[in-house]
Structure 1
């Protein structure tokens, strides 16, 4: 794969994993340090368990992107039969 490179930080799985993981961290900290309000949830600290679950999902997304990276080719052939793409602009010759 000499003429390819990894998507890296622009891989959507990294963005999703970081977003879900940050929400999970916030909920985890709220579950540890805030009032658990277990009377509203039937005796379960919902913030703690939801935070742990979101952290696990975030780590899975980031691990997935690291273990199975997306390789992006350096050059891509021009698509000529796509009707949704506009026609290339014609260059005017000098003197016209």
Structure 2
């Protein structure tokens, strides 16, 4: 039994979810995260490791950015914007 006064959620448009700010931020973090992770895995030199105290900063920063991108995508999926 439904009440006629209860609002119903409008269907989400594809453009609305594509240009959601969380999606844009997730894509940016994801792209930069992949680049930094690949640089950390394949582009490191002993001189760079010596500068950073033996820590591969590119690798760890890239992994962190990929985690942040995954959090933004999860947030966008669990709490979609209501358009209408």
TM value normalised by structure 1: 0.70
State how far apart, in whole Å, the 2-side matches of 1:61 and 1:52 are: 14
The CA distance in 2 between the partners of 1:55 and 1:32, in whole Å, is: 14
SS in 2 for 1:72: coil
Aligned-partner Cα distance in 2 for 1:71–1:18: 21
State yes or no: 1:54 paired with 2:48. no
Give the number of the structure whose residues are more often helix, by fraction. 2
Instruction: Choose between structure 1 and 2: higher strand proportion.
Output: 1
Structure 1: which 4+ aligned runs deviate by more than 4 Å?
Answer: none
Q: How many residues align?
A: 72
How far apart are the structure 1 equivalents of 2:17 and 2:41? 33
Q: Which has the higher contact order (CA 8 A, sep 6+)?
A: 2
Larger Rg belongs to: 1
Q: Any gaps of 5 or more consecutive residues in structure 1?
A: 74-96
